[in-house]
Amino acid sequence: MKLNYSTLAFSIVAVVLGTGRSFAQEGYAPMGSPYPVGSPAPYDPAGMQPPGMMPQGYGPSPMMGPAPYAQMAAAPDYGQVSPVSYDPSMYEPVGDYVEYENYAGAGYDSCGDGGALPPRAYGGVEAMMVWRKGGNYPPLLTTSANADRGILGNPSTQIVWGDGNEHGNPTAGGRITLGLWLDDYQNWSVGGRFMALEEQSQGFTATSDQYPVLAYPFFNLNTGLQDSTIVALPGTGTGAANNTTVNFENRNSFYMGDAFLTKHIATNNGNRWDFIGGYTYFKMEDSLYNDATFTVQDLAPPGGLSTGDVVRYSDRFDAVNEFHGGHVGLMAEFQDGPFSWRAMGKLALGSAHQEATVSGLTTANGNFVRNEGVYALASNSGSFSRDKFVYVPEINIEMLYAYNCNLDFKIGTTFIYFSDIVTGGALINNNIDPNGTAPVFQFNEQEYWILGMTAGVEYHY
Q: Residues 125-182: pLDDT tens digits?
A: 999 999 998 777 899 999 999 999 999 999 999 999 988 766 678 999 999 999 999 9
Residue 231 burial (C-beta neighbours within 10 Å; 0-12, 13-18, 19+): buried
pLDDT at residue number 75:
35
Choice among 17-21, 144-148, 422-426 with the minimum mean pLDDT: 17-21
Classify strands 214-220 and 431-432 as parallel, antiparallel or unpaired.
parallel
- 204 vs 70, higher pLDDT: 204
Whole-number pLDDT of residue 74: 34
| CATH code of the domain occupying 5-22+118-460 | 2.40.128.90
Among 417, 354, 358, smallest CA distance to 389 is for: 354
Query: What percentage of the chain carries pLDDT values higher than 90?
Result: 65
Are 181 and 193 contacting, i.e. CB atoms less than 8 angstroms apart?
no
Nearest of 443, 411, 407, 421 to residue 282 by alpha carbon = 421
Of the CA atoms within 13 Å of residue 256, those in its CB half-sphere come to 19
Hey, where are the domains in the chain? 5-22+118-460
pTM for this predicted structure: 0.76
CA dist 417 and 402 (Å) reads 30
Q: What is the pLDDT of residue 185?
A: 85
Instruction: State whether the Cα torsion 396-401-406-407 is positive or negative.
Output: negative
The DSSP secondary-structure symbol of 120 reads -
Mean pLDDT of 372-391: 97
Dist. CA 105–CA 108, nearest whole Å: 8
**End-to-end CA gap in the chain:** 46
Q: How far apart are CA 408 and CA 457, in angstroms?
A: 6
- Which residues touch 54 (CB under 8 Å, ≥6 apart)? 34, 71, 72, 73, 74, 185
Q: What are the start-end ranges of the E strands in 300-447?
A: 310-336, 339-364, 367-370, 382-402, 407-418, 431-432
**Mean pLDDT over the full length of the chain:** 80
